[in-house]
Chain A
Amino acid sequence: MEKNSKKTVEFKFERTIPAPTDEVFDGWLDPKIPGNPWNMAEKLLLNPKVDGFFYWLIKGNSHYGRFTEMERPSRIQHTWMSRSTSGEETTVTLTFKKQGGDTLMTLVHTGIPDTEAGRGHEKGWNHFLDIFPEQFGNSSRKEK
């Protein structure tokens, strides 16, 4: 496969969570809470402290990473590698800010290898990609 250019993209997401920051922070690291990356794993090894590693398997895809920052209850940072990062080490940073009785949670995923062209198109393609998952699956099997 042709190697992607060195250009990277990043995604930023924000959510207001109706709970205090320490509860949201702890919830993000608790595999029992729905919605965090560790939930619904087929196999999970999780050591959420600085220089602790995680291994997370879902739908046959392995994900690896190392926690680089852990400041309860305001900030978590870890690396993230999977098949979809083309072997590159990407970075996920979470911040939790008190907003009255709620928490403004921000997730930034940086260093994802790709191109500006792809970034511009990302939203518009979701619909099309929904329609064709079987074709993707079939064609990938044929190539193996």
Chain B
Amino acid sequence: MDHLTDALTAISHPTRRAIIGQLANGPARFLDIAKPFDTALNATTKHLKVLERAGLIERQKQGREVLISLRGEPLREVAGWVHEYERFWNERLDQFQQYFKAKKKKEKK
């Protein structure tokens, strides 16, 4: 799979989105990440693997601890082209159409 698909797959699960939200506040240890979730540690490990494959997280050794931190680039890339082309043109064209609708209404009066 390509990296965009990996990123989209990664953010398709609510738990993984919650992990992303949590890591956006700063790096965390594995147990801190797993704590808020009512799931087995094994499940958290699986979620982290999916996030790691998408390049959304990285692990760094600090002494005896492993810190997990968020890498935003894959998300930014997804957001970037969705906003630029799908949303951007739709918004612009709606505005353009609205301008002429309002103009016509005004002329009728």
**Closest chain A CB from B71 CB (angstroms):** 7
**Closest chain A CB from B61 CB (angstroms):** 19
- Contacts A107-B89, A117-B5, A118-B8 hold; do A34 and B95 have CB atoms under 8 A apart? yes
What CA separation (Å) do A105 and B17 show in the bound complex?
39
B11 contacts the other chain (CB 8 A): yes
B73 touching A143 by the CB < 8 A rule?
yes
A134 — which chain B residues lie within 8 A by C-beta? Answer: 24
Query: Which of B5, B11, B73 has a CB less than 8 Å from the CB of A115?
Result: B5
B75 — which chain A residues lie within 8 A by C-beta? Answer: 132, 135-136, 139
B21 touching A18 by the CB < 8 A rule?
no
B2 — which chain A residues lie within 8 A by C-beta? Answer: 4-5, 115, 117
A34 — which chain B residues lie within 8 A by C-beta? Answer: 95-96, 98-99
**Closest chain A CB from B85 CB (angstroms):** 5
What CA separation (Å) do A129 and B83 show in the bound complex?
9
What CA separation (Å) do A15 and B97 show in the bound complex?
7
B48 — which chain A residues lie within 8 A by C-beta? Answer: none
What CA separation (Å) do A128 and B76 show in the bound complex?
12
B35 contacts the other chain (CB 8 A): no
B66 contacts the other chain (CB 8 A): no
B92 touching A35 by the CB < 8 A rule?
yes
Of residues 82 to 102 in B, which have CB atoms within 8 Å of A's CB atoms? 82-87, 89-90, 92-101
Q: Mark contacts of B45-83 with chain A using CB atoms, 8 A cut-off: 1 yes-contact digit, 0 otherwise.
A: 000000000000000000000000011110111111111
A50 contacts the other chain (CB 8 A): no
A17 contacts the other chain (CB 8 A): yes
B72 touching A136 by the CB < 8 A rule?
yes
Enumerate chain A interface residues (CB-CB to B < 8 A): 1-2, 4-5, 11, 13, 15-19, 23-24, 27-28, 33-37, 39, 82-84, 105, 107, 109, 112, 114-115, 117-118, 121-123, 125-126, 128-129, 132-136, 138-140, 142-143
A83-B80, A112-B85, A118-B78 are known contacts; what are 15 more A-B pairs with Cβ within 8 Å?
Answer: A4-B2, A34-B95, A114-B81, A117-B5, A118-B5, A122-B82, A129-B83, A132-B20, A135-B21, A135-B72, A135-B75, A136-B72, A139-B73, A140-B76, A142-B72
